[in-house]
Structure formats: C-alpha cells, structure tokens
Amino acid sequence: MFKHLLVPLDGSQLAESVLPSVVYLARATGATVTLLHVIERDAPHEVHGERHLTNADDACIYLGEVAERAFPPEMRPNIVEHVHTVEVGNVAQSIVEHVGEFAPDLIVLCSHGSGGLRDFLYGSIAEQVIAVGKTPVLVIEPEGKMPEAGYCRMLVPLDNDPDHEQSIPVVADLAKACGASLHLLVVVRTADTLTPEQAATGRLLPRATNAMLELAQEDAVAYLRGKISQLQAAGVTVSAEVARGDPTAAIVATAERIGADLIVLGTHGKAGWDAFWAGSVTPKIADRTRRHLLLVPVRAA
C-alpha cells in the first residue's frame, strides 16, 4: 500500500496539475506527502512560461504556499516540504536519489515533455525515473484531470509474463483502498498485427501461425480465469477480457470503452531508444492517451 508519496514540483502550474490526484491518494491511503523541489544547474529563467525557482529561499516559500493552498487543514501535518539546495545537472537522477533518502513507495509526476521524436530519443523525466529506479511512478498529463469520483475503474493489461504480474499486488491494494474495480486485459495479436519478426514466420507458415494465435487466445482465457479467482479471493472486484489486434491500440481502445480512470502497466523501465528497439508498448500508450498511467517497475525473477 502507498504510505509515502514523493511529488517533485518545478514551480509551474503544469507540474502542479498532479496535486488533486495527490490529495485524493493521500486521503484514500493515509499517506504522508513529500513535496520536492530540485535546484537545477544552469536552469532557464522560465519554465513552461513561468518564472523558474533557482534559489533555495524562493523554493522553500513556494513549497509552503503549495502545501497551504492545495491540501486541506487536516492533511497538512502529513505534508513535508524539501528543497534540494545543491545544484544538479540531472533532475531525474536527483529525484531517484531522493527516493533512497525518503523511501517513498510512489512518485507522482506531471508529464509535460514536448512529445514526438525528442522524447523518444531522450526520454521524459518520468521515463528516466522509472528506468533507473524501483519505485512505482504515477504519470499524469496536464489535461488528464482527476475524476471527480476518484479512481473507480483501473485497467490492468497483462501478457502472461510472470515478471509483469509483479504489478498485480500493487494495484490490488490500491483498488481496495480506493474502492475501485479492476479490469484485466490480455491482447493476442492477429495475423495482420504481428511484429516484423513474427510476420516473416507467418508468411512462411500461415496455417501454423493462425493455429498458434488461436491457441494463444485459449491460453489467455485460462490465464485470466486464474487471475480472477486469485483477486476475488483477496476481496477485489475484478473483470477480464481477451482482445485481438495491436496491443497499444487495443489497450487504449479498451480504456476508452470501459471508462478506465487509471491504466496500470508493469514495465522493465526501458526509456528512449531502448524502449523503441524493445518494442515496448508503454511509451506508445503514453503518447496516445490522456488517462492517468501507473508505471510499476518489474524485475526479472
């Protein structure tokens, strides 16, 4: 369960767009919240069109103002304000280092990169944090407003990979705290949505490939039945389905159809070109949805 939330803020309204979600999660889980500002070396005078905080005194005042206006009085004793006063060149790395210092179990970040090829090459701060850290990261687009009723429906894509199942206990506990239901999704590709490597085999052995895809669908159904039983036994409200087609498109479409408030993705933390060559769906999903994303780092067993 999330008991300590780390919230990096750069002084901009964009970064502050995560605060309604932070308030909601802190209230639902009883978590302590640490507001963090990192003094960046050679920082620009403005960030996102607003004055940049480049000295510790201004940053301390700013974080105090945020705590005062964003959190209700009864929650303020659980709000900690911290300014990293040594200038750093790598903000993402500094955030990860503060994970070791504060031991949060969730980092909440606004995703306000420029998008497109630049983010693919260099990775957003959120991607860098998830790549080098071991702590789940909640990524919120500025346009991705917190649902008025909170997180009621959570979509959990799975792929029958035991590593990715490491996200299930995390989201199960969160669902119970929020009174939310889970919807499990496994996507099985169709012949026309195979990866280039798979498609090459498919052209040589089309009947065998189609038969394997049908077996994969049957396996996915059996796999999901087992997960449903486990989660129901743990007191979680859960449903599931198998979709066919391109994984990214199917995940995004399912999130829209069921009205998911949160998409939970287990990720090996590959950022930038590593994610591109690995064919990771995480950055692709992030580029195609404004729904909140909970990225749970997984490590090979």
Q: What is the 3-state secondary structure (H, E, C) of the chain?
A: CCCEEEEECCCCHHHHCCHHHHHHHHHHHCCEEEEEEEEECCCCCEECCEECCCCHHHHHHHHHHHHHHHCCHHHHHHEEEEEEEEEECCHHHHHHHHHHHHCCCEEEEECCCCCHHHHHHHCCHHHHHHHHCCCCEEEECCCCCCCCCCCCEEEEEECCCCCHHHHHHHHHHHHHHHCCEEEEEEEECCHHHCCHHHHHHHHHCHHHHHHHHHHHHHHHHHHHHHHHHHHHHCCCCEEEEEEECCHHHHHHHHHHHHCCCEEEEEECCCCHHHHHHHCCCHHHHHHHCCCEEEEEECCCC
Model pLDDT, residue 161: 74
- Confidence band (pLDDT; 50, 70, 90) for 211? confident
Q: Which residue has the higher pLDDT, 284 or 20?
A: 20
Higher pLDDT, 1 or 250: 250
Domain 4-110 CATH superfamily: HUPs (3.40.50.620)
Is the pLDDT at 258 greater than 60? The verdict is: yes
Pick the CATH number of 153-288 from 1.10.357.10, 3.40.718.10, 2.60.120.10, 3.40.50.12370: 3.40.50.12370
Lowest model confidence (mean pLDDT) among 203-207, 210-214, 285-289: 203-207
Q: What does the domain layout of the chain look like in residue ranges?
A: 4-110, 153-288
Rounded mean pLDDT of 9-35?
Answer: 92
Q: Write the pLDDT tens digit of every residue in 96-114.
A: 777 778 889 999 988 765 4
d(CA 133, CA 138): 13
Burial 139-150 (b: 16+ CB within 10 A, else e): bbbbebebbeeb
Q: Residue 264: pLDDT band by 50, 70, 90 thresholds?
A: very high
* pLDDT value of residue 47: 62
Average predicted confidence (pLDDT) for the chain: 82
Do the domains 4-110 and 153-288 sit in the same CATH topology, yes or no? Answer: yes
Instruction: Please compute the mean of the pLDDT values over residues 41-55 and round it to a whole number.
Output: 69
156-187 pLDDT per residue, tens = 999 877 777 888 999 999 999 999 999 999 99
CA dihedral (78, 98, 111, 270) in degrees, to 10, reads: -140
Q: How confident is the model at residue 240, as a pLDDT? A: 97
**pLDDT value at position 252?**
96
- Residue 196 has what pLDDT? 64
The pLDDT confidence band at residue 197, using thresholds 50, 70 and 90, is: low
Of the chain, the percentage scoring pLDDT greater than 70 comes to: 77
Q: Distance between CA atoms of 88 and 97, rounded to whole angstroms?
A: 11
Please state the rounded mean pLDDT for residues 78-92. Answer: 79
Query: What are the pLDDT digits (tens) for 213-233?
Result: 888 899 999 999 999 999 999
Q: Does the reported pTM lie above 0.75?
A: yes
d(CA 59, CA 134): 27
Task: Between 301 and 55, name the one with better pLDDT.
Answer: 55
Has residue 148 got a pLDDT over 70?
yes
Q: Average pLDDT in the 232-236 region? A: 96
The total number of residues shown for the chain amounts to 301
